[in-house]
Amino acid sequence: AYSLFAVGGVYGHALGLVDVTKHTVYASLLGILALAFCDVVYARHTKARWFALHVIANLWITMFCLPDVCYILSDPLASLKEGRTNHWPTSLVFSVHMYHMLFFSGLHWIDWLHHCLMVVVGAPMLITAEVGPLMNFNNFFMCGVPGGADYAMLFAVKHGWMSPVREKKFNT
């Protein structure tokens, strides 16, 4: 049985495109609401609002990806045969990009291009492809951990906890 809130649930597997879209929108709206809560309660009170929110989102993405990362590392052949996976990480990738577009001004054209490609093209393709745990393995290493570390360092620079030169050293 399908459950939107099941961490290891079958969200997207064997569902039609309309159902996958509907559930992804619901999950993404919940992600946007969670980010809005974190924004009001914490991020708006920092010197680096967007960086703080991105660190939080990347932490969530990382945590939701961990079961699939462990599955792939512990049994790669079985995991690659599996089509089902937890779609929350990809929905959160969708959410963080949408939140940035909706609630931040002054985005450059490259930001819009990046966000539109991720939201309009990337996330729906990943969710409907049913590539299984490999999707979250990718999310873990493409979004979760490196993005979280990158934005945490940028947050630290804005607060004077790390020098810009040191941040550049780690991010190049």
pLDDT per residue over 68-124, tens digit each? 999 999 999 999 888 777 888 888 998 999 999 999 999 999 989 988 887 777 777
pTM listed for this prediction: 0.84
Q: Is residue 58 part of a domain?
A: yes
Alpha-carbon dihedral sign for residues 7, 12, 15, 21: positive
- Please state which of the ranges 10-19, 117-126, 138-147, 158-167 shows the lowest mean pLDDT: 10-19
- The answer to whether residue 2 sits within a structural domain is no
Report how many domains make up the chain. 1
The label of the residue with tokens 């745990």 reads 133
Is 161 within a domain? yes
User: Would you say residue 11 lies in a domain?
Assistant: no
Place of tokens 């577009």: 101
| pLDDT at position 8 over 50 | no
pLDDT at residue number 83: 78
pLDDT at residue 2, rounded to an integer: 42
Cα distances (angstroms) measured from residue 87 to each of 69, 124, 134? 14, 11, 11
Q: Which residues contact 15 (CB under 8 A, 6 or more apart)?
A: 2, 23
- At residue 19, what is the residue type? D
**In a domain? residue 1:** no
CB 127 within 8 A of CB 81: no
Identify whether 53 is part of a domain.
yes
- The answer to whether residue 130 is domain-embedded is yes
Domain coverage including residue 148: 17-170
